[in-house]
Amino acid sequence: MATDVDRTGSSATDLLVPLCALSGAIVLAGFFFPEFVGRAVSGSGWLAVALVFFASGLGYLALLPYAEDERTTTAAAYLLRVRRADIKTLARTFFTRFDPVVTAGPVCVFGLYFLAQLVAPAAATTGVNSVAQVLLRQGGPVFLAVTLIAVAYCLFLLVGPWGDIRLGSPDAEPSYTYPTYFTLIFTAGIAAGVVFWGPAEALFHYRDATPYFAAAPQSSAAVTGALTYTLFHWGVSAWSAYTVLGVPIAYYVFQRGAPLRVSSILAPFLGVDGLDSLWSRLVDTLAVFATIGGIATSVALVSEQFLAGIAFEWGVTTGGLGPVLFVAGLALIFVVSAATGVHRGIRRIAGVNVVLFCLFGGLLAVVGPLGFVLTEGSAAVGAYIGNFVPLSLYTGGEWVTNWTVWNWSWWFSWAPFAGLFIAALSRGRRIRTVVFTSVVATAAATTLWFLLFGGTALWVQRVGQTDVLAAVASRGGSEAVAGFPVLAALPLGQLLVFLFLALIIVFMVTSADTSTLVVSVLATRRSVAPSTSDIAFWGLVQGIVATAVIVIGGGETLQALAVLTGGPFAVLSLVALAGLTMTCRRRERGHTSLVARVTTRLPTIHTHHDIDPSDEE
């Protein structure tokens, strides 16, 4: 039987196709005929048309019907389900399904925060930033140690016997093909940060020089160190933060029948039946706050980057309404995508994301300085591998606090939502496959991206093609504008800028729709699946928080507040690993390590002592 979403989608698609085609024609005219923007269409008007284009195109993909067979429905039955019903039913039952503790806590904190920003902005900013700085400075060694432990544990799961455990049951089948599985994990976990920092981070490290690598700022020797530290901040260490929460959640959900909650990591200590305790709800509440805070600030920052790109490309402004309009457009897209579920909107838009990602990377490799990228990239990868442990333990003062420790705290603050999503997708997969996908494969993708984009930015700066650092400095030092002068200096610059702006939107949507769905799961009672109204509510909350950041201000302070949650989740990841270790040692025996599998397939080498004397003549 067709659901309400299916019936709505069927009628909406008839309108979305011509709307997408018309708005797309205007957007393309703006890119390839720049004088069109500012003369025929104002800056605000062009932004509105661009949002209509992306919203109609991505909305069309999300609303297309999906023919689920019975096997797929059964296999995915426990995953991020969305219960649909008529509007009256949803409105009547909404307040009976949500968890009041998990819901009210974050909403109240955000309300109080923005009230403080209105009443005493200076005091609120100073207070939050002071606490964040104390946490990062004093807790720096803890973050470094926990992150290194996370990498080591992921390596153990990858090659050790517990990696052989199949989540669900020995004959459980995955709900998604492997390409889809990788696509969903990668696009949900990385967000638009990869677009922000792709051209910018290596440039910043090149400009100031990193303390670990003794090189003069903006020298040829600083290039390798700049790329190396960029790979370090976006490589296996970062992705391991997600996995050390995702694997324990998946294990307890699919092997022990725990609910799909972040708090399921406490199952070995509280028991599955004890996961309704106050401690469990506190963990889930903190997860909801961290997720909304992280996503909302990212949406606000993405709006700034998109609008900075429009201003750089066409010299137009969108006024005070522009950022609000942008956030509203993004919110509409990710709410529709989340409401249609993983099989439809989330999966399809994630696929579009990866296609754009690969297309952009391929074009950049063709028109960019590939020789420079290969030479410096090889040196950076070698330095990254050779210096991985020293870099992981290096506590080099304020620089490490502001860069490495901040990054680790930010990744851990995103770990609850990303880890839960990894867990939800992993039924039928071996733990070894989960770790390989969520750490090795994802880190490989980000490595290629930063080598290509970061290497290109460094080359453009070094050869004097354009002064990217001066363009950044002229706009207040924001990393948001770094990509545009880099792309403008390359052949096919207009096409690259178009793809770049598209990536900004699609990357943000693929994280925001996932986070909306995850928060909806966490905030409903454990015996009930989230409904369309739940998803709409949490999507609206994320949109309101992002809009408030833009209108009221305090985005960097809210980001710092969200980063503060990285500390508790770094500690909780150790709790999760301790519990998983105890459980697997007690219950999971007889599995085969990857080393043993490889060893058994090696050819047998006979020595002289193995030869039977009777065989000799």
Mean pLDDT of 570-581: 95
Kindly report the backbone phi and psi dihedral angles of residue 111, in degrees, each rounded to the nearest multiple of 5, phi listed first. -60, -45
Calculate the average pLDDT of the chain. Answer: 83
| Cβ(181)–Cβ(174) below 8 Å | yes
pLDDT of amino acid 390: 95
* 554 φ/ψ sector (left φ>0, alpha ψ -120 to 50, else beta): left
With a cut of 60, say whether residue 5 has pLDDT above it. no
pLDDT of amino acid 71: 39
Would you place residue 90 in the very low, low, confident or very high pLDDT band (cuts 50, 70, 90)?
Answer: low
Domain membership of residue 387 (yes or no) is: yes
With a cut of 50, say whether residue 458 has pLDDT above it. yes
pLDDT of amino acid 265: 94
Best CA proximity match to 235, nearest among 4, 392, 429: 392
Q: What CA–CA distance (Å, rounded) separates 604 from 614?
A: 21
With a cut of 90, say whether residue 335 has pLDDT above it. no
Mean pLDDT of 380-401: 92
Q: What CA–CA distance (Å, rounded) separates 107 from 288?
A: 10
DSSP annotation string for 6-54: HHHHHHHHHHHHHHHHHHHHHHHHHHHSTTHHHHTB-HHHHHHHHHHHH
DSSP annotation string for 150-191: HHHHHHHHHHSGGGGPBSS-TTPPPSS-HHHHHHHHHHHHHT
Report the predicted TM-score, pTM, of the whole model to 2 decimal places: 0.88
Q: What CA–CA distance (Å, rounded) separates 410 from 559?
A: 9
Domain membership of residue 617 (yes or no) is: no
pLDDT tens, position by position, 397-416: 889 998 999 999 999 989 99
Domain membership of residue 189 (yes or no) is: yes
Domain membership of residue 261 (yes or no) is: yes
pLDDT of amino acid 246: 95
Domain membership of residue 413 (yes or no) is: yes
With a cut of 70, say whether residue 350 has pLDDT above it. yes
pLDDT tens, position by position, 16-54: 888 888 888 888 777 777 776 666 666 677 778 888 888
Domain with 455 in it: 4-67+81-588
Task: Identify the CATH number of the domain in which residue 25 sits.
Answer: 1.10.4160
With a cut of 90, say whether residue 8 has pLDDT above it. no
Domain membership of residue 114 (yes or no) is: yes
pLDDT tens, position by position, 249-283: 999 999 998 999 999 999 999 998 888 888 888 99
With a cut of 70, say whether residue 616 has pLDDT above it. no
DSSP annotation string for 59-118: HHHHHS-----HHHHHHTTTSS--B---HHHHHHHHHHHB-HHHHHHHHHHHHHHHHHHH
pLDDT tens, position by position, 121-133: 888 888 888 888 8
Contacts of 7 (CB under 8 A, 6+ apart): none
Domain membership of residue 409 (yes or no) is: yes
Mean pLDDT of 79-96: 54
Would you place residue 437 in the very low, low, confident or very high pLDDT band (cuts 50, 70, 90)?
Answer: very high
Contacts of 85 (CB under 8 A, 6+ apart): 4, 93, 531, 532
pLDDT of amino acid 73: 39
Kindly report the backbone phi and psi dihedral angles of residue 427, in degrees, each rounded to the nearest multiple of 5, phi listed first. -60, 135
Q: What CA–CA distance (Å, rounded) separates 178 from 196?
A: 28
Tokens 């990696």 label which residue? Answer: 163
> Which range (36-45, 47-56, 320-329, 573-582) has the least confidence?
36-45
| Cβ(107)–Cβ(114) below 8 Å | no
With a cut of 50, say whether residue 79 has pLDDT above it. no
List the structure tokens of 384.
Answer: 């990254």
Count the alpha carbons within 13 Å of 35 in the hemisphere toward its beta carbon: 0
Would you place residue 605 in the very low, low, confident or very high pLDDT band (cuts 50, 70, 90)?
Answer: low
Would you place residue 323 in the very low, low, confident or very high pLDDT band (cuts 50, 70, 90)?
Answer: confident
pLDDT tens, position by position, 172-218: 889 889 999 999 999 988 877 888 889 999 999 999 888 898 888 88
Domain membership of residue 550 (yes or no) is: yes
Would you place residue 95 in the very low, low, confident or very high pLDDT band (cuts 50, 70, 90)?
Answer: low
Would you place residue 91 in the very low, low, confident or very high pLDDT band (cuts 50, 70, 90)?
Answer: low
pLDDT: which is higher, 78 or 337: 337
Partnered with residue 524 across adjacent β-strands are 98
pLDDT of amino acid 175: 86
Percent of the chain with pLDDT over 70: 87
**Residue 603 per-residue DSSP state:** P
Tokens 């990217």 label which residue? Answer: 468
Number of domains in the chain: 1
List the structure tokens of 218.
Answer: 């903006």
pLDDT of amino acid 69: 41
pLDDT of amino acid 304: 75
pLDDT of amino acid 614: 46
pLDDT: which is higher, 10 or 489: 489
